[in-house]
Structure 1
């Protein structure tokens, strides 16, 4: 039985593709609106060639056709250049009315342009189109009176027709008609502007939401990259601390075993056993840290990290490597440290003793001290102070201290508001670290 083929990605519906096609080419959809108006204007004025306009004035059909087309064609670019479209079309419509060459088919383009300006233009363009459209409606109503006066002038004053000797008799009716025409035009313009403005607001809101989502995605990607970089730096520091310390212990043990292999085979055997033990522990620790890259943060959080509880075993391992190291009595008022702060203090002590193993010489010794003291800036704010002092070759250690070891310790300390100072003195080398106590103490150990 053959497996069913994987389902292909479904095709986008036709109507969705059509919408996307026209959205990518906004001028094309607007052209479909402008084309029928242009054909109607050409048919009405270019073929019939009337000598009288709608209001009874004499017209020049080429000029009328030109103004109609000048008002209609900009509809095609009203979505991409609403400002230019309103300027050209508004000027053409205004000239038609003022020169009594209209209104013509161009009047139908006005609501389309007002709608496009309100939806796709800026606020200034939108209000300009609205004001120009209302002014055009008022002028269109006013031409009713002008047309009546023209027709009255062209007829015989003795005739008792609508255009009789006294035009004032029809003036009230003309005013009512003028107001109706102006009101109708204004209502059409305001309606088109309102619909366009609502569409423009929705369009701007959608654009704002899309931009916000884009920025959130960028921020999320940046946070993910920063988190990945921080995790890589943390793993690099851990690997440096573990490998550097373990390799220093193994080198010291191998050198000691080589020197005593003939004089004291039993001691040499112990040294080689220590090398094997240290190597296995280091390999196990490296495997644990490299496993972090394949495990999630929840599994990693359940694993215990080294802290001050492991300090006696660390000192015992260092002593087994041949370095005489002692731990001053821990202060009784030392509160419990957070897991991260305990790991930081542990790693700083480990790195300092590793430097002593590498550079201190055969007769070097070291002392580790922890204390709680008033802060340097304010006596009210207490500090946790760490000091590792050795009697080795301080100058050599200081020259190496500019490497990744001291930098790693400094980076660890800064995470908790502390700093690290490494300096040589007459008898050897001193590494000190200070932490604000409130930054490293756990919640249950916070002083009250």
Structure 2
């Protein structure tokens, strides 16, 4: 069925569209409502065989070409009062001055003077607005002198001087008051206009800043995912390589051990793939239904140690609130989820480095303790100022290993610790390699 399209333009009322059109083209309204009508008055004055100065008799009327030229000079510039307020006020000031100097005198076109002062104060700069206010006040004084000279030249002898000065003072004061009032109104309007423009600019800057913050947050999330990917892939590949080498070695001698090694390889690969999918899922749309697995933390260290043991590295796990055989991780001090993940990844990276660089016969030890300023507390209770201390030590080649020991893995450890107010210190010595993590504890409430 035919009909008009339901567009925004069709739904907008006609008068609103006209108003928006005129706001974008202010010279149309200024020409039609101000410059045009006042210009017609000037043309009418010139066509009426010149113009006789107000309140002054005895002077010959000025010629119509001069009246027309000065009248148009003081009215037509009003078409530019919003787009070019300073040139508009300047042209009108010149026209009004010439009217006085040529004795054409102020006529209907004089209305354009306070309008120009108002426009300069509202739409122009503050400096130009003050300048044209001074010029307009000086013009009011000049207008008073103009009428004073006219009265003195045309009044009969013996007239009281007070009868001449009183109307002159009234005319001068009235002209100055009108100019000042228009300037004040224009200044108030200009301040409001500048405040609105500043608010609009501030909103634009806030929008740009919000977009920048969103981009920075996205970059930080990508960096976090990159670190997680490094830890997961590095650890899983190390375990799988160790199991593959062991399985190949015992394949002909102990098929059952080889089968166990390959089973570990498959399980480690599947777990790594699952965790990689979970991390990469945050980059996809939530509508795809990404399945998020629990974030590993302190409670998962036992399973991590078991995987490393299965890869062929003897590892012990102990804590100050448990025994060497039972670390009692369920009684560990509470940590935020992100801090628990940081501890898990740091231990994982340290054990992975031992697997890759420790050499044959290396052993590792993971020790957890709570460092308190007042001394040990029973049960691993935490209070403000306490720190969780995790020490990962191995008996590998230590300082005899190739490289400077500052690879991306160790840098990632330090970044994770600093993210939660902690620190990681590493030391390579002749008897192995030590990694010590110190992390402030959060008191449970």
Structure 1 residue 400: deviation in Å? 8.1
CA contact (8 A) 2:278 2:290 kept: no
CA contact (8 A) 1:372 1:384 kept: yes
Structure 1 residue 444: deviation in Å? 1.8
Structure 1 residue 117: deviation in Å? 1.4
CA contact (8 A) 2:41 2:109 kept: no
* 1:213/1:345 CA distance change after superposition, 3 Å: same
Q: What does residue 199 of structure 1 align with?
A: 189
Whole-angstrom distance in 2 between the partners of 1:295 and 1:234 = 18
Question: What residue ranges of structure 1 are gaps of 5+ in the alignment?
Answer: 153-163
Question: What residue ranges of structure 2 are gaps of 5+ in the alignment?
Answer: 323-330, 374-383
Whole-angstrom distance in 2 between the partners of 1:38 and 1:397 = 95
Q: Which of 333, 337, 340 does residue 338 from structure 2 map onto?
A: 340
Q: Which of 257, 278, 283 does residue 293 from structure 1 map onto?
A: 283
Whole-angstrom distance in 2 between the partners of 1:406 and 1:113 = 72
Whole-angstrom distance in 1 between the partners of 2:394 and 2:48 = 111
TM-score under structure 1 length normalisation: 0.81
* 1:416/1:367 CA distance change after superposition, 3 Å: same
* 1:398/1:124 CA distance change after superposition, 3 Å: farther
CA contact (8 A) 2:31 2:78 kept: yes
Structure 1 residue 148: deviation in Å? 1.9
Q: What does residue 388 of structure 1 align with?
A: 392
Q: What does residue 74 of structure 1 align with?
A: 77
Whole-angstrom distance in 2 between the partners of 1:339 and 1:5 = 58
* 1:98/1:415 CA distance change after superposition, 3 Å: same
Q: What does residue 266 of structure 2 align with?
A: 276
CA contact (8 A) 2:120 2:128 kept: yes
Whole-angstrom distance in 1 between the partners of 2:5 and 2:83 = 43
Q: What does residue 238 of structure 1 align with?
A: 228
Partner secondary structure for residue 22 of structure 1 = helix
Whole-angstrom distance in 1 between the partners of 2:369 and 2:158 = 114
Q: Which of 146, 160, 179 does residue 149 from structure 2 map onto?
A: 146
1:24 corresponds to 2:14: no
* 1:10/1:202 CA distance change after superposition, 3 Å: same
Whole-angstrom distance in 1 between the partners of 2:142 and 2:285 = 77
CA contact (8 A) 1:115 1:192 kept: yes
CA contact (8 A) 2:281 2:290 kept: no
Q: What does residue 399 of structure 1 align with?
A: 403
Whole-angstrom distance in 2 between the partners of 1:232 and 1:75 = 59
Q: Which of 157, 161, 165 does residue 165 from structure 1 map onto?
A: 157
Whole-angstrom distance in 2 between the partners of 1:281 and 1:5 = 60
Whole-angstrom distance in 1 between the partners of 2:315 and 2:177 = 95
1:93 corresponds to 2:85: no
1:364 corresponds to 2:368: no
Partner secondary structure for residue 212 of structure 1 = helix
Q: What does residue 380 of structure 2 align with?
A: none
Structure 1 residue 383: deviation in Å? 4.4
Q: Which of 235, 238, 249 does residue 239 from structure 2 map onto?
A: 249
CA contact (8 A) 1:398 1:429 kept: no
Partner secondary structure for residue 421 of structure 1 = strand
* 1:6/1:233 CA distance change after superposition, 3 Å: farther
1:236-268 Cα offsets, whole Å, 9 max, x none, are: 222222222112111111110000000111111
Whole-angstrom distance in 1 between the partners of 2:82 and 2:345 = 65
* 1:303/1:273 CA distance change after superposition, 3 Å: closer
Whole-angstrom distance in 1 between the partners of 2:235 and 2:51 = 105
Q: Aligned residues, how many?
A: 420
Whole-angstrom distance in 2 between the partners of 1:253 and 1:142 = 109
